[in-house]
Amino acid sequence: MKTKLLLLMTAISVAGAALAANPLLSPYKTIHQTIPFDQIKTEHYVPAFEEAMKQHMNEINEIVNNPKAPTFENTIVALDKAGSLLNKVSSPFFNLLGSETNDELQTIAQKMSPLLTEHSNSIRLNEKLFERVKVVYEGRDKLKLTPEQSTLLKKTYDGFADNGANLSENDKVKYRKLSKELSMLTLNFGQNVLKETNNWNMHITDKNLLAGLPADVLEMLALNAKKAGKAGWVLDLKATTYVPVMKYADNRDLRRELYMAYATRNMQGGEFDNLENIRKIANTRLEIAKLLGKNSYADQALVQRMAENKENVYDLLNKLLVAYKPAAQKEYDEVQAYANKNGAYFKVQSWDWSYYSEKLKAEKFDLTDEMLKPYFELENVKKGVFGLATKLFGVRFVKNTNIKVYHPEVDAYEVFDEKGKFLSVLYTDFHPREGKRAGAWMSEFKGQWMEAKTDSRPQITIVMNFTRPTETKPALLTYDELTTFLHEFGHALHGMLTKCTYESLSGTSVYRDFVELPSQIMENWASEKAFLDGFAVHYQTGEKIPAALIQKIKDSENFNTANFTLRQLSFGFLDMAWHSIEKPYKGDVIKMEKEAMASTQILPVVSDAAMSPTFSHIFSGGYAAGYYSYKWAEVLDADAYSVFVKNGIFDKKTAASFRQHVLVPGGTEHPMVLYKRFRGQEPTIDALLKRHGIQ
């Protein structure tokens, strides 16, 4: 008996020592308490998750078992603070799952995702906990709360009510089951897209097949081949390959082959097929919505959006469709006529559009990406983008190589305000890797919060997939990559400049259709001469970008913008179609997609290609019933930027107002209240139509 007891005590001691040695569970003794990436190993995550969930549940039990009557402080604020250790563990894990994943991390995600969902359900479905929240919520009129406190109270109550707290016991069991299934389905969807994208490549040994591609693209493709131990060139489906091939490759068969490989991912059977995943995700979301008393998932999701309901979403999408479709048809006809004039005796298809559009643009405006890229060397662009924030908001960025990063290509910056006060840490990660999903995004490793005199500042990351440097050239960005940088940097500013009491309301913790305003407004500076003059110099000669070239950017700004808008609208309609179903969908996924997008199509429809199987925004990201947000926010950003145009694009008073009323408050009040404080009125679509030359 003594031996067994001794063995048990020894085991407990060893387990305790292992936990104590786990860097994820210890206070970070680093600069600004940043994540010690150099100390964290893959094997640390599972025990850290398990311990953090255990501690979180202990914190919840303390709230539930508090003998004192529920108050805003001992229930609502206590709930907001609970789970800080779990956030500390989850943050590096899920960020790395998107930006630097591997098989081991994906295996852990498969294990932990349902456990984390069940953990969350155990809190949201805790009747005694909800009763305490309800007592505070129902007595809110007597509490004399600040707007921020009122928002936190409503968000907390809704977080329970919208996640099954009012369900019967039987329905709570169903909710637990469905939410766990959904977490696995969405996780699998995203992993499938990454794996199928990484699995495709094309080895080419005949350089003639690559005619038309710029020299730096050829050099990048040759470097791909060299890394694979092959001669010649290797093409893949990353944006840095796909986009230039679509724009510049003279070989139409090559363009078509790459287009079809890209547009038929995850839909041809096999291990990574997503067609059944799509049906299951849409139907599971519907079933959850039905449990919660809604007719569709969109009805459930839009309650917490500026749009409020499906009717308002469709109203915006349809208004924009009516406004832009005639212009889009004219744009297509112009590209078709140009192609015919230049010996292309066929109807312009999806794999021809970028190619002939680029050539027409070059003819009309004497402007190509290749003319601009030498002026957009990445290091200079960083100076320009950071400098814009300095001009507008007085913030400055200081690179700190002592802050640990998760990959050698990542840089870390300390961010200070105009008085030298520390604001944030910013991580930048610019280039594609096999462990990084496609696209560009902003996230946070730590949110901002305040308690007493402590203002705990955030740690923000922006991740992109920009053109890599080659063996002979630095990283030279396209104009689209410049605007993408500005977009994600706008999100970063939202995260870095915020100053809120409660972490769950700080930074980008706002309605989905408001969160794109700070990002999209920053894109407006990309074509401004006063901005470009500050950093855009030729990477070899140091010559400033010519004024004539900037004017060409301005002149070409609306080139084919109507077709781009229709493309965005098609995604919005597709998203709403999947999330407005009121009966389980058992039909053909591709048929559903074609019908949803039909009204927006100008280019000939490719019958055996589809967007849905790789539409990660809505099937594995946070944009389900929310993709319309990009257009909604574009209306806001055009309206908001008109104030800068009127007062001066670097006007400090306008910038200070935008900072004070939009960036700093996070989600502490309803976004329309915040917007009207800045703008003085509600937005209309007029500024957007004017910007695009539609009116």
Known catalytic residue at 414:
no
Tokens at 632, concatenated: 């909604």
Counting every residue, how long is the chain?
695
* Count helices and strands in the chain by DSSP H and E runs: 29, 9
C-alpha to C-alpha distances, 152 to 59, 146, 156, 399, 456, nearest whole angstrom: 19, 10, 6, 35, 18
Secondary structure (3-state) at 113 = helix
Instruction: Give the Å distances, CA to CA, from 297 to 31, 589, 593.
Output: 43, 18, 17
Distance in angstroms (rounded) separating the CA atoms of residues 540 and 536 = 12
Point out the catalytic residue in the list 358, 377, 414, 488.
488
| CB contact at 8 A, 651 and 286 | no
CA dihedral 125, 127, 132, 138 (to 10 degrees): 80
How many angstroms separate the CA atoms of 325 and 327, rounded? 5
Cα–Cα distance, 279 to 588 (Å, whole number)? 9
The rounded Cα 175 to chain-centroid distance in angstroms is 27
Exposure of 155 in the CB half-sphere (CA atoms within 13 A) = 23
What does the alpha-carbon distance between residue 17 and residue 83 come to, in Å, rounded to a whole number? 22
Cα-based distances in Å from 654 to 147, 384, 546, 588, 641: 24, 20, 29, 51, 10
Supply the Cα-derived Rg of the chain in whole angstroms: 26
Residue in 264, 261, 256 with CA at minimum distance from that of residue 209: 256
d(CA 638, CA 654): 15
User: What is the torsional sign of CA 120, 122, 124, 130?
Assistant: negative
Residue positions annotated with a catalytic role: 488
